[in-house]
Structure 1
Amino acid sequence: MAVEPASAPSADTSLLLRNAENGVVTLRMNRPSQFNALSEGLLAALQHEIDALASDPDVRCVVLESAGRAFCAGHDLREMRSQPSLDYYRELFRKCGSVMQGLQALPVPVIAKVQGIATAAGCQLVASCDLAVAADTARFAVSGINVGLFCSTPAVALSRNVSAKRAFEMLVTAKFIDAAQAVDWGLINHAVPESDLDARVRALAGDILSKSPSAIRYGKRMFYKQRQMDLADAYDYAGDVMARNMMEADASEGIDAFLQKRAPRWQS
């Protein structure tokens, strides 16, 4: 797959590589010797790409992957220790939270493609993506507690993917879970042999690309917003979204195609 540096102001563009093909944008974290730890530069590059993707109508799906043997080992601890001030740490975690929320706010699905380890903020990154496919040898942990730092910001995303007791056990013990457990607990969607990882992610992206772009965009925005509502408000909101979706040309085309027993021709 041909890749090019992602453009990010005030950041080393070699830290994040970008490839766009047939509506799928692949972002590859590129700090393999540091296990793709989230340095300030890498966070800046990710934020820049997220901001650009949010307004790109040609994007249908985003894949987040990494170079080397690990997906992401969390924050760059050496960099963090170089500036020991409360203001610096607050700003660092704000920037990280902005990236995580930005992934969820993108109007198209984001797939995490995971190999090796995903620890601390790396596990948070997986949990912040809409979908995740991992090699069956991948492992996941929120291991800050081992160095005296409770993974508070990773806990936000983790506890929205797995049950409270499972999340809390991971947070206070730093124990790894394997890919099979991650599937069972709801952190990832699929675990496959590493040799099949590329093909499984392509197939999942292909499934998304075969559906109506406008319906996917309506659906992702609705899905996360309704989760923050009580039941009655969620139904009121979802009903309005579904009615608006019905007014789209793709909905008319899709229903007509179903009734006429033919493949739909999406217009959006």
Structure 2
Amino acid sequence: MGTRETRHEPGIVVVTVDHPPVNALPVAGWFELAEAVRGAGADPDTRVVVLRAEGRGFNAGVDIKEISADPGHDKLVEVNRGCYEAFKAVYECPVPVISAVHGFCLGGGIGLVGNSDVIIASEDATFGLPEVDRGALGAATHLARLVPQHAMRAMFYTGRTATARQLHHYGSVWEVVERDALDDAALGFAAEIAGKQPTVIRAAKASLNGIDPVDVNRSYRFEQSFTFELNLTGVSDRARDAFVRDGHEGAQWRTS
């Protein structure tokens, strides 16, 4: 369990997240993921990173129960920092990052895939931000990289999800495959990138980040400021408590 790395030739590093039961990451999990991605990118032998997950879905965001159990706001501050560092690590990784997504991709998962370079998804993959229902805000920055502006707003306000096929139609998901073909498809695409001249690919990643129209790090940090404001007023505490008490978490995964 946790985050592990495996290496495939030529220069493909696979970072796998495995936090049962639904890959809702605790504070330590976000920092661990950030460190794994940064470490992979810092290795001069790495040519591409594949980000994937085990279990029922790719990522269910933050561990709401961990935050709800904290009598103060220490865990909230820490998990916000952890998410920021993990998203930043993916975006600033000096080599391309391919996200291989299956099942649900929610909350913080959107931050990860929205900051990755290529998304390959299985037929069962769904993408969404249930933040409003949890008394939080954030990752609209990253959802806006996956769907058009008005679709993003509708999804953000309602918490509705989009399918892998819908995102493929928008052009943000490169390929949709059967679940059992996902890993092979991601590794195959990674091998195509890894076969290019490594120095050129690293320069290409830097140049693409340099021409991005939105500073994703600053934009996401701005969103987080509203989450802290909602917590200071007590609104978020009540939303999280209701979320944990009413068992919405289990229901969400069953419908994803």
TM-score (norm: length of structure 2): 0.78
Amino acid at match of 1:27: V
Partner Cα separation in structure 1 for residue 146 and residue 71 of structure 2: 32
Q: Which whole-Å CA distance do the structure 1 matches of 2:148 and 2:71 have between them?
A: 34
Q: For the structure 1 residues 175 and 50, does the alpha-carbon distance in structure 2 shift closer, same or farther, using more than 3 Å as the test?
A: same
Distance in 2 separating the partners of 1:85 and 1:155: 26
The reply to whether residue 56 of structure 1 matches residue 43 of structure 2 is yes
Partner of 1:29: 17
In structure 1, the gaps of 5 or more residues are: 1-13, 230-268
> Conserved in 1, the CA contact under 8 Å of 2:46 and 2:95?
yes
Q: 1:177 aligns with which of 162, 166, 183?
A: 162
- Give the match for residue 131 of structure 2: 144
- Aligned equivalent of 1:198: 183
Residue by residue over 1:28-82, the C-alpha shift from the partner in whole angstroms, topping out at 9 and shown as x without a partner, is 111131x111211211211221232232100011111111121111110001112
> SS in structure 2 opposite 1:161?
coil
Distance 1:219 1:68 in 2: 33
Indicate if the aligned counterparts of 2:16 and 2:54 stay in contact, CA closer than 8 A: yes
Q: Specify the SS of the correspondent of 2:145.
A: coil
Q: CA deviation at 1:188?
A: 1.9
Higher relative contact order (CA 8 A, sep 6+): 2
Deviation at 1:91, TM superposition (A): 3.4
Cα distance in 1 for residues equivalent to 2:95 and 2:172: 19
Mapping of 1:1-268 within 5 angstroms? Answer: 14-22=1-9, 23-33=11-21, 35-86=22-73, 88-147=75-134, 149-150=135-136, 152-228=137-213
CA deviation after TM superposition for structure 1 residue 94, in Å:
2.1
Structure of greater Rg: 1
**In the alignment, is the contact (CA less than 8 A) between 2:34 and 2:90 conserved in 1?**
no
C-alpha separation between the residues in 1 aligned to 2:170 and 2:148?
Answer: 8
Q: After the TM superposition, which segments of 4 or more aligned residues of structure 1 sit over 4 Å from their partners?
A: none
Partner Cα distance (1:42, 1:15) in 2: 7
Deviation at 1:116, TM superposition (A): 0.7
8 Å Cα contact 1:75/1:121 also seen in 2: yes
Deviation, structure 1 residue 84: 4.6
| Partners of 2:43 and 2:172 in 1: CA distance | 28
Aligned length: 213
Gaps of 5+ in 2: 215-256
SS at match of 1:32: coil
Matched-pair contact (CA < 8 Å) for 2:147–2:172: yes
Q: Report deviation, 1:117.
A: 0.6
CA gap 1:190/1:29 in 2 versus in 1, 3 angstroms: same
Assess, with a 3 A threshold, how the Cα gap between structure 1 residues 196 and 51 changes in structure 2: closer, same or farther: closer
Offset, 1:160: 2.9
> Among the aligned pairs, what percent are the same residue?
28
**Residues 15 and 41, structure 1, Cα contact 8 Å, conserved in 2:** no
Evaluate the alpha carbon distance shift between residue 116 and residue 219 of structure 1 in structure 2; reply closer, same or farther with a 3 A threshold. Answer: same
Contact persistence 2:101–2:122 (CA under 8 A)? yes
Q: Bigger shift: 57-66 or 118-127?
A: 118-127
2:28 counterpart letter in structure 1: G
